């Protein structure tokens, strides 16, 4: 399973990339708006991210009508070869995805909250579908069940659309993504850090080093 980082923060992207465990990046308008440098051109941010991480980088359109989404998607796709254009799961969005697929522009269909929506996105030719698991969990539903259903539907019909487990809220979501056969999980920086953490790892390492120190040797 690929692990993407879910952020527009350049420092976080650099740090996670240095650890060597991220395969790509997802951004969204809210994540971009959260960053300090509000004046910085969005396309410049996307280009900078693409130059740091050698993998898919999702950048979202702001328009909601077919003509404008197609236009924005064409602009974003020209920023770098690794850009995947994020398109919202609305009727005009899926029409846009179909047009983009014919042009060879890869789309990540975002804001997916049901298996039926994911089926339509795959039929439209989406490169990635992004089921927002955490936001469903937030309102008392089982977001992981949606991913399980999408996996089964895509496998039934051999759809090549990648399933990206999105809206990750905690480290256990990452495990669920892997167990359910998601192709990608996009993970906030704080949760990537938590993936490494285990108290027994820290305690065990301390014990090993303390015991070794008693030998007074170097390797
Ligand atoms: C996915 O690409 C989205 O950016 C993201 O996972 C949304 O997560 P949120 O529900 O924490 O905003």
Q: Report how far ligand 1's centroid is from the alpha carbon of 199 (Å).
A: 28
Q: Name every protein residue with a CB atom under 6 angstroms from any ligand 1 atom.
A: 6, 26, 28, 110, 130, 132, 134-135, 166-167, 186
Q: Is 187 exposed, middle or buried (0-12, 13-18, 19+ CB in 10 A)?
A: buried
Residue nearest atom 12 of ligand 1, based on CA coordinates: 167
Segment 133-157 shows an average pLDDT of: 98
Instruction: Tell me: pLDDT of 218 over 80.
Output: yes
Please give the pLDDT value at position 18. 97
Instruction: Tell me: pLDDT of 76 over 90.
Output: yes
CA torsion angle 29 76 93 113 (round to 10): -40
Strand partners, 86: 60, 108
Confirm if 186 and 147 have CB atoms less than 8 A apart: no
Please give the pLDDT value at position 174. 98
> Ligand 1, residues 130, 132, 136, 191: which to mutate, most atoms within 8 A of Cβ?
132
Instruction: Kindly report, residue by residue over 108-125, the tens digit of the pLDDT.
Output: 999 999 999 999 999 999
Active site residues: 86
Atom of ligand 1 nearest to the CA of 28: 4
Atom of ligand 1 nearest to the CA of 138: 10
Please give the pLDDT value at position 39. 79
Instruction: Kindly report, residue by residue over 90-107, the tens digit of the pLDDT.
Output: 999 999 999 999 999 999
Please give the pLDDT value at position 183. 98
State the helix-helix crossing angle for 10-19 and 42-52, rounded to 10 degrees. Answer: 10
Please give the pLDDT value at position 36. 74
Instruction: Tell me: pLDDT of 38 over 90.
Output: no
% of the chain at pLDDT higher than 70: 100
Atom of ligand 1 nearest to the CA of 108: 2
pTM of the model: 0.96
The per-residue pLDDT of the chain, averaged, comes to 97
Q: Report how far ligand 1's centroid is from the alpha carbon of 129 (Å).
A: 13
For residue 161, give the DSSP letter: P
């Amino acid at each position: 399973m690929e692990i993407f980082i879910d952020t527009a923060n350049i420092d976080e992207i650099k740090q996670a990339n240095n650890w060597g465990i991220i395969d790509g990046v997802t951004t969204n308008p809210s994540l971009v708006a959260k960053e300090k440098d509000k004046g910085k051109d969005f396309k410049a941010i996307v280009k900078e991210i693409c130059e740091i991480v050698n993998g898919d980088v999702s950048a979202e359109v702001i328009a909601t009508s077919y003509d404008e989404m197609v236009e924005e998607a064409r602009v974003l796709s020209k920023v770098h070869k690794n850009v995947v254009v994020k398109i919202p799961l609305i009727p005009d969005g899926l029409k846009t995805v179909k047009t983009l697929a014919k042009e060879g522009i890869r789309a990540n269909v975002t804001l997916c909250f049901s298996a039926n929506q994911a089926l339509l996105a795959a039929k439209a030719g989406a490169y990635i579908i992004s089921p927002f698991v955490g936001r469903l969990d937030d309102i008392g539903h089982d977001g992981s069940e949606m991913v399980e259903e999408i996996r089964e539907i895509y496998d039934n019909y051999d759809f090549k659309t990648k399933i990206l487990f999105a809206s990750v809220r905690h480290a256990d979501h990452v495990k669920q993504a892997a167990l359910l056969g998601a192709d990608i999980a996009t993970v906030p920086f704080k949760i990537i850090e938590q993936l490494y953490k285990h108290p027994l790892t820290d305690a065990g390492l301390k014990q090993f080093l303390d015991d070794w120190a008693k030998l007074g040797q170097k390797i």
